[in-house]
Chains A and B, each alone.
Chain A
Amino acid sequence: MSRSRVGDRAVLLHLAVIAALFLVQFVVGDYQHLSLARVMVLAVYAVGYNILFGYTGLLSLGHAMFFAAGLYGAGLTATYLSFGVPAAFVAGIVSGLVLSAGIGLIALRTTGVAFMIVTMMFAQAGYLIVLYFGAFTRGDEGIVLTGDIRTAHLFGLTLDLTSATVRYNLALGLLAVAVLLSLALVRSPMGRVLVAIRENEERARMLGYDTFRAKLFALVVSGTFAATAGAAYGLMFAYVGATFASIQYSILPLLWVLLGGVGTVLGPLVGTLLMFYLVDFASGYTSAYMLVVGVALLGLVVWFPKGLLGTLREKRLPWLP
């Protein structure tokens, strides 16, 4: 099979998934409709995380700071500077971009376990900064976005963010962009370089690639995706709080990616979706639902060590990107 046909098949699969998500909204009940919108926004976060972790091999334990940068970048500008939804959204994205570039310049001087610890430390500092500036952020309690900020005005269109339909389709649009950008990236020469770094950074460097620059690129893209998800989450669901800057929200994208398939474009979406429904389903039966999640993850390690799509790629679909 030629490489282009393989590529076409991959593109078609991703487009089909997006189309399927579009159609799903017409058949699911209201709760699933609301939940899927939330899951898709969080999947953007996971897709971004996967670029750094899955494709570049850098395990960050501090991505909540980027998510929170987007969340607060959008929420604070909307609240205190009266930014409209589009401007606040862009402010959130820019916040994440600038922060990830700054953090990357420092943290990428480390590798392996040290990188994990440094990113976690930065994220913890970020969390405490949110609490420290409680006069503006209301700390752990957070800020509710109300009034005009629940309506977006863009290119003559007026979008009501309190509408479930609008939120669903905005989330889908965001996810589609994230997935297709991620697909384009991993199939681009830069994507190959990132994979080369993941597999053997020394060898990539010996081949003449500037691995620091490539890793910084990956971190900035990943952090910006996270911030985009954070900004969208805050604006769509009208709440901005410190919980989203806590360590828990650095671990979650890692679990989503592990569950769905490390280094697969659609794995983060699958993982986010499965984790949501696993928690939602298990919590209906037991308050020890996190134990159920833990057992599921153990099962994953045993039977799907590369995540669901990762294992599927290994055993059945070698063309899966």
Chain B
Amino acid sequence: MSDSKKNTTPPSSGITRRSALKGFAATGAAAAAAQVAPGAVRYVQAQTSEPLKLGFQVHRTGIGAAYGRWYERVVNACVAEINANGGIAGRQIEIVAEDDGTDPKRGAEMVEKFATQHGVDIAFGTLFSHVVMGSAPRAGELKLPYYVVSEGYHVASGALNRYTFQPGITDVRSQVMSMAPWVAGNLGKKVTMIYPDYAFGHDHRDYFSEAMKKQGGEIVELIPIPPTETSYTKYFPKIPSSTEVLYHVMVGPGVLTFVKELGEHFGSNRPELFGFIDSLEAVPLASPGLEFLEGTYFWEGYPRYAQPDQTPYDKHYRQAVGVNDDGASVNDPKDISTYSHMFGCWETLYTIKQAVEASGYKGPKDKAALVEATEAITDIPWSNQHPQGDKVFNGKMHQVFGHQNISQVANARLDVVHRTSIEDGMYENDTDYTKMPL
């Protein structure tokens, strides 16, 4: 049902669009409309054996395609596993995947399509922040539970709505602030930051600066890079000589050029380098031009390379998804995964399973109960269902908090040198979605 108001307070008299639609049902026009009629009608007679339909909003094309490809593989693997083990509350999962082109307008249309044409129970999987921001209002107004896997701070910031959750991946604010104690304690306290000059970069700038100051550190220079930039040489002279740590987060196709030019600028006499693996997701570390990164450090949400202390959960997850110990596809070792992010889809699906089963969800009429059951989740144990690590879900913020990893590039692979505590990434704010009406 597209009109949220009507859901709760149906008009008592007069001709409404809905009643007119019913009136036309016997006509040829309605016959045509029936092809695109909402699935909600069918759920009136829904049996619990009917598949649980999950709308998967995937970036198959556009700037998010590399991530989207792997998100889809993880989703398919996870759904196969859940279905093989009896599904969710005894119902098999049916995935309805739609490409949003990594575009916020198309994303919003996808959410509408999920809710009203496909009649899905739940939508999930959105990655890029602008697509989440463009889509989430529609999910909220259509009262469609919407589980994003984005790492943006948008959910916890309170900008979205009661129906939007991020239970499978930590947000950038949490990630960034949890890095600061280790960076200040091990690499240096005078930091220059290079970041893309848009919202994602600004979150890094703001929250890392704040966290470093708490550690007694100092941001000696901020160097924003315009998103249209293709060469970075002219920015490097702005790096003060007092810099002890160069913090870099560059996303997009320019990253190889960035690293190459950075190497040419510094030569062998470089400060410590700390970056975010977002720059190099789906990129082989052995790529020509990346040699300069040897010995430098990266944030990893989930270590790409299997570590000596690999858990059975990680082993299970890699095997299920088809990823080898180097974070590449088992079918094509050159096809590098987006390992630090894609686990979010796996964990989100298991969180959905947990919430659906806890709420006794049978159909759309139980969506409010599903929302409340998700909000009631607190501790999430380290397990096959949550292979990245144990987590704490904040029901008020609709955001999960977890461990982060700091890895060093050694012999063109990444070795974890530090794993943060969940508390390192915890913060407080005023967000309380539970006060919003359902």
- Contacts from A to B (Cβ < 8 Å): 25-35, 38, 124, 128, 131-132, 134-135, 138-146, 150, 160, 162-165, 237-239, 241-244, 279-280, 283-284, 287, 289-290
Contact = CB atoms under 8 A, between A and B. Distances in A.
Contacts of A128: 226, 228
A142 B109 contact: no
Contact of B109 (A29, A30, A35, A138): A35
B21 A243 contact: no
A28 B198 contact: no
A33 B2 contact: yes
A149 to B, nearest CB: 11
A244 B134 CA distance: 11
A42 to B, nearest CB: 9
A141 B116 contact: no
Contact of A38 (B29, B61, B103, B109): B109
B116 A30 contact: yes
Nearest to A145: B137
B4 interface: yes
A90 B105 CA distance: 23
A35 B389 CA distance: 41
B3 interface: yes
B227 interface: yes
A134 to B, nearest CB: 5
A68 B411 CA distance: 48
Given A27-B29, A29-B117, A32-B36, A142 B104 contact: yes
B197 A134 contact: yes
Nearest to A27: B29
Residue from B16, B136, B159 whose CB has the most chain A CB atoms within 10 Å:
B159
A144 B130 contact: no
Contacts of A33: 2, 17, 116
B198 A134 contact: yes
A289 B29 CA distance: 28
Contacts of A164: 2-3
B426 interface: no
Given A28-B33, A124-B228, A144-B159, 6 more contacts: A26-B20, A32-B33, A139-B202, A239-B137, A243-B103, A243-B105
A72 to B, nearest CB: 14
Contacts of A135: 202
Contacts of A139: 197-199, 202
A238 B60 CA distance: 25
Contact of B130 (A142, A150, A290): A142
A138 B105 contact: no
18 contacts: A26-B24, A27-B32, A29-B34, A30-B38, A33-B17, A33-B116, A35-B112, A128-B226, A139-B202, A144-B159, A144-B160, A237-B134, A238-B138, A241-B130, A284-B98, A287-B60, A287-B61, A287-B99
B5 interface: yes
B227 A283 contact: no
Closest 9 CB pairs of A and B: A141-B199, A30-B116, A238-B137, A31-B117, A164-B2, A29-B36, A139-B198, A26-B20, A31-B116
B113 interface: yes
Contacts of B1: 30
Q: Is the interface on chain B under 10, 10 to 19, 20 to 34, or 35 or more residues?
A: 35 or more
A161 to B, nearest CB: 9
A141 B200 contact: yes
Residue from B1, B27, B199, B227 whose CB has the most chain A CB atoms within 10 Å:
B199
B133 interface: yes
B424 interface: no
B323 to A, nearest CB: 22
Contacts of A239: 104, 108, 133-134, 137
Given A146-B137, A239-B137, A34 B2 contact: yes
B228 to A, nearest CB: 7
B38 A144 contact: no
Contact of B24 (A27, A244, A287, A289): A27
Contact of B141 (A143, A162, A243, A244): A162
Contact of B99 (A143, A145, A162, A283): A283
B133 A29 contact: no
Contacts of B16: 165
A220 to B, nearest CB: 26
A241 B103 CA distance: 10
A201 B30 CA distance: 51
